Structure 1
Amino acid sequence: MAGRPRLAIGTYGSIQTTESARGRFRALTRFRDWDGQTRQVGDRG
């Protein structure tokens, strides 16, 4: 079975969101940076 195809440079994968007990949200995704490395990025709101 083959793995998933690599992300193209400058693109992101699916966005995952979770809600905390206080009603706040957190979003996480993987982003392929311009140097070719894939990094996990996120934000809380």
Structure 2
Amino acid sequence: MVFFAGFAGIASGSHGPTTIAFLTAVAVAWTWLTALFLAARGRVSGS
């Protein structure tokens, strides 16, 4: 996912703060989704 985001930034020709901000946003969103998924799965298996 992050790889594709980086590839999109490189393909569009933007190598500046925009690409970095976009990659950071993708990484944060992916981390949140993973944490929520693990928390939900842990809650289900725990009960």
Q: What TM-score bracket applies, with the shorter chain setting the length?
A: under 0.3
When normalised by structure 1's length, the TM-score is 0.24
When normalised by structure 2's length, the TM-score is 0.24
Higher relative contact order (CA 8 A, sep 6+): 2
Kindly indicate which of the two structures has a greater share of residues assigned to helix: 2
Kindly indicate which of the two structures has a greater share of residues assigned to strand: 1
Structure index of larger Rg: 2
